[in-house]
Amino acid sequence: MEFFDEKKILKAISKGDEKAFEAFFLHYYPRVKGFIYGLLQSQEESEDISQDVFLMLWKERSSLDKIHNIKSYLFHISKNAVYRNIERTLLFKNYEDKQRAKKHVLPENTEIDDDIQLKELELLVAMVVEKMPPQRKKIYKMSRELGMSNDDIAQNLDINKRTVENHLTQALADIRKILILTFLFFF
């Protein structure tokens, strides 16, 4: 059995070596697909999401040599890909249900219901934002409420742009979690 040197192969991939990526893919694809299948119990979805994970890795290949634990990294991005898939599926199902319900409800009631649901969602998001750590909350509000760019926020707060991006990513993940739980519980 041939030894699989992760550091060496990640370094080669980060330089654009397609053969190294192919070896990496063949080595890890079954594990990633198996993990995703365990979560979704769908062969087709697990194949699609697994391929998306590896496509994303190829697109972000220049930073792969900085990863210290590839197994943990693959688990993390695979898990996030599954969550995004579930979120899209739930949102699409919710949209379809609303469209079906609209056919059976008077138009004026639909607008009122939509307004109420929108206000409830806005309130829920506002509550999540208020519970965020101070720096994350400040960055989120500067971005979403004031419409500032990541560069402007970084400059204004005298921090790195990547720090701003990380805070926004985490803020959106916090909001997404609550919305998913809400949809799972109420719909």
Prediction pTM value: 0.50
Spans of all domains in the chain: 1-104, 106-187
CATH code for the structural domain at 106-187? 1.10.10.10
Fold match, 1-104 / 106-187: no
Span 43-97, pLDDT tens digits: 999 999 999 999 999 999 998 888 888 888 998 899 888 888 888 877 777 777 7
Q: How many angstroms separate the CA atoms of 37 and 50, rounded? A: 9
Q: What value does the mean pLDDT of the chain take?
A: 84
| Average pLDDT value for residue range 33-52 | 89
Residue 136: predicted pLDDT: 92
CATH says 1-104 is which class? mainly alpha
Span 100-128, pLDDT tens digits: 776 665 455 556 667 777 777 787 788 88
